[in-house]
Amino acid sequence: MSQISYKDAGVDIDAGNSFVENIKPLVKSTKIPGVLGGIGSFAGAFELPKGFKEPVMLAATDGVGTKLKLAIDSGIHNTVGIDLVAMCVNDLLCNFGTPSFFLDYYATGKLDVKTATNVVAGIAEGCIRAECALIGGETAEMPGMYSHNDYDLAGFAVGVAEKSEMDRVALVRAGHKLIALPSSGLHSNGFSLARKVLFEKMKLNFNDDFNGKPLIETLLEPTRIYVKTFKELKNQIVALAHITGGGIVENLPRVLPENLMAEIKKDAIKVLPIFELISQHVEENEMYRAFNMGVGMILVVKEEDVKTVLSKTDGYLIGEIKEGKREAIFI
């Protein structure tokens, strides 16, 4: 009777071991004070940072959405890992959490060691930009669940905040100003719509020229990470809103009390060219619900701190907080 191995069933343990050896230096490059041990154990360990009176652990999880489809189809795998980290750590900032460590989950139909290594290289780069450590992860080879070349990503970020600093909504007042921090592009939201417009409706190709470079490079531009900006300006920030799926209209109200509204000057928004291209076939209201439109993070700032914040960032004023129903409106 012939015998069947795990490899015959589609799972290559040796490839998995080779992958782990490849990523060890990548993981090591993200090590920061607080990391205990290395990869290879059953769990990653991180020492609770000192200096907090009432430390609270914060956690955020996210993926990259159908931006992965573009990475897979184009064969460009070294940037989506940055997106993965960004989507998680940027959320932590909105509760005044400083990212400490990150874990990833990589699932695929058949493990391609080179592709997986490139993905983790992006994750490591994202962690370096976020000044947090990659302390572990999971790689799952799942034949029958995913097609041969497909893979999926999920990320998990953990940070620490001072308990007394977490409730930012209670600090927002009428008269506070709104400062937009630019996005680097689509970030990791709206790609199902973008793909349908650009490749099905407009019949464009990855290598078509867009603003002097291949279109795919603009689409895969990694999500901007705002951790360093947050750390530098923490004392001048009242609240932050990460502009992801739902756009400004759905994300900004999450940092507002019930009796206050955000008034946004639409003409002040520096809309990126990629959104102008997509908007040729999408209604304006739908654009502002699906995309960030060039705004990756919005800071709520006291009027006396506006000058300082503007001088230390590439941000710009887009509106202010006023009395009214809890919502974000464009004028």
Q: What is the pTM of this model?
A: 0.95
- Per DSSP, the three-state class of 323 is strand
Cα dihedral across residues 243, 249, 254, 256: positive or negative: positive
Nearest CA-CA partner of 184 in 270, 252, 106 = 270
pLDDT at 300: 98
Which amino acid belongs to residue 306? V
* 188: its two tokens: 């990791």
Q: What pLDDT is recorded for position 38?
A: 77
277: number of CA atoms within 13 Å, CB side? 22
Distances (CA, A) of 290 to 184, 191, 314: 16, 9, 24
Q: Closest Cα to residue 293, out of 320, 266, 331, 313?
A: 266
Give the chain's domains with CATH numbers: 13-165 (3.30.1330.10), 169-330 (3.90.650.10)
pLDDT string in tens for the chain (331-residue length)? 677 666 756 666 778 788 888 888 898 899 999 998 877 778 889 998 888 999 999 999 999 999 999 999 999 999 999 999 999 999 999 999 999 999 999 999 999 999 999 999 999 999 999 999 999 999 999 988 888 789 999 999 999 999 999 999 999 999 999 999 999 999 999 999 999 999 999 999 999 999 999 999 999 999 999 999 999 999 999 999 999 999 999 999 999 999 999 999 999 999 999 999 999 999 999 999 999 999 999 999 999 999 999 999 999 999 999 999 999 999 9
Looking up tokens 């699932």, which residue turns up? Answer: 107
Q: Reduce the DSSP state of residue 11 to 3 states and report it.
A: coil
- Are 262 and 295 in contact, with CB atoms under 8 Å apart? no
The per-residue pLDDT for 6 is 67
List, as one string, the DSSP characters of 209-246: EETTEEHHHHHTPPPP--HHHHHHHGGG-SEEEE--TT
What are 130's two structure tokens?
Answer: 């976020």
**In the prediction, which pLDDT does 100 show?**
97
